[in-house]
């Protein structure tokens, strides 16, 4: 029996643009079980990123219910929400968003610093991650010295270092060539097998195919 990781109940997000009320997400109902690999698909502007941001607690639903691991996120205080977020969620971005001034090693280490993990433990965890992603030789390089694929690899490693239950990936291969894309997707599939829940937004049919479930969005609605 799989546990429910999160569930959305008529979740809605509207924003005011000038005098118009624009509905970005419209009554979304969604259950995500632990261990799922979901691909969000849809044209630009359909609400994929907004949905990811809201699930990732970088943004709020304006209406409806959002439960994460049985806890009602929508009625939570900012502080608890950020705690939850720190503990369980990792992010992967299309533009990698590595910190330019930090080396590969230091980039991967950063989330642990924010979690106040002890130095010796941090070392072991980062070393582990470098090993696993086969980038030990690159640990002292800066992001600018890496190819896009390698940067994204670091991005994924950084997202994983905190041992999150859920990885949110917004077009993780959008800036990569097809070979690099494939590598990242293989990696995701592998992680998913190991039990990490993944939700990715993508334009690519082939990428979406790696997932266990595809959700199509159009104009903020699931279709």
Partner 1 sequence: MIRSYIKIAWRSLKTNRLFSIVNILGLSIGLATTLVLFLFILHERSFDSMYANKDKIYRVLLNTTEDDLETWTGSPSAVALELEANIPDIAEAGRLLKHDFGGTAFIKTGNEVFAEKKLFWSDASILDMFDVEIVKGEGSEVLNTPNTVLLSESTAKRYFGDENPIGKTLSIDDIDIVEVKGVFKDFPENSSLDFNVVAPFLMQSAAKNPTWDNASFETFLRFNSASPNVANVEAKIQGILDKNVKKDEQWYNFSLQPLEQIHLYSSTYKDSYIERNGDINQIRNLTALAILILVIACINYMNLITARSQKRATDVGINKTLGASVRDIIVRFYIETGLITAIAMILGGVLAVVALPMFNDIAGKELDISSLFSIEIIVFLVLIWFVTSLISGSYPALYLSRFSPKEALKPSTNKGGVASVVRKGLVVVQFSASVVLIIGVIVIHQQLEYIQNKSLGYNPENVMAISTSAIRGGQANQALVNAFKKLPNVSVVGRSQGYPGMGVSGRSINKPNTDETMGISTNTSEREVADVLQLKLLAGQLLPKNKQAGDTLVEVVVNKTTVDFLGLSPDEAIGKKVAMQLGNNAYIHGVVEDFNFASLHNPIGAYAFHNSNREPKSYLLIRFTNEVLSETISNFENTFKNIAPNSAFEYTFLDKNLELLYEKEQRTANVGLLFSILAVIVACLGLFGLAAYMAEQRHKEIGIRKVFGASVPRIVQLLSMDFMRLVLISLAISFPLAFYVMNQWLQDFAYRVTISWTVFAIAGALALMITFVTVGYQAVKAAVANPIKSLRTE
Cβ 169 to partner 1 shortest distance, Å? 12
Question: What sign results for the dihedral spanned by CA atoms 93, 54, 23, 216?
Answer: positive
Are 30 and 216 in contact by the 8 Å Cβ rule? The answer is no
- d(CA 146, CA 130) in angstroms, rounded, equals 15
What does the DSSP 8-state code read for residue 59? Answer: S
Pick between residue 122 and residue 138 the one whose CB is nearest to partner 1: 122
Q: Which residues make up the interface to partner 1 (CB under 8 A)?
A: 53, 56, 58-59, 82, 85-86, 91, 93, 95, 97-102, 106, 109-111, 113-116, 158, 162
Pick between residue 1 and residue 78 the one whose CB is nearest to partner 1: 78
Cβ 54 to partner 1 shortest distance, Å? 9
DSSP 154-214: HHHHHHHTT--SEEEEESTTTTS-HHHHHHHHHHHHHHHHTT-EEEEE-S-HHHHTTSSEE
Cβ 192 to partner 1 shortest distance, Å? 21
Cβ 182 to partner 1 shortest distance, Å? 26
- d(CA 96, CA 81) in angstroms, rounded, equals 24
**What does residue 130 show for φ and ψ, rounded to 5 degrees?**
-60, -45
Pick between residue 50 and residue 150 the one whose CB is nearest to partner 1: 50
Cβ 15 to partner 1 shortest distance, Å? 12
Pick between residue 27 and residue 110 the one whose CB is nearest to partner 1: 110
Pick between residue 8 and residue 168 the one whose CB is nearest to partner 1: 168
Tokens 């690099």 correspond to 180
Q: Which of 15, 10, 13 minimizes the C-alpha distance to 27?
A: 10
């Amino acid at each position: 029996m799989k546990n429910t990781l999160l569930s959305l109940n008529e979740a809605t997000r509207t924003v005011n643009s000038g005098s118009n009320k624009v509905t970005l997400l419209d009554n979304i109902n969604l259950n995500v079980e632990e261990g799922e690999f979901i691909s969000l698909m849809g044209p630009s502007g359909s609400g994929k990123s907004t949905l990811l941001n809201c699930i990732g607690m970088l943004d709020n639903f304006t209406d409806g219910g959002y439960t994460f691991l049985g806890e009602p996120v929508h009625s939570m205080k900012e502080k608890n929400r950020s705690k939850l977020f720190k503990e369980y969620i990792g992010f992967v971005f299309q533009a990698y968003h590595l910190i330019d001034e930090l080396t590969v090693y230091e980039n991967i280490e950063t989330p642990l610093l924010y979690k106040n993990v002890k130095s010796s433990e941090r070392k072991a965890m980062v070393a582990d991650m470098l090993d696993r992603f086969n980038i030990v030789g690159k640990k002292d390089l800066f992001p600018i010295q890496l190819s896009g694929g390698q940067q994204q690899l670091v991005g994924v490693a950084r997202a994983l270092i905190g041992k999150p239950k859920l990885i949110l990936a917004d077009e993780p291969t959008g800036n990569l060539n097809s070979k690099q894309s494939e590598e990242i997707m293989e990696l995701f599939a592998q992680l998913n097998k190991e039990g990490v829940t993944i939700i990715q937004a993508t334009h690519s049919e082939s990428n979406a195919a790696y997932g266990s479930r595809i959700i199509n969005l159009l104009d903020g609605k699931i279709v």
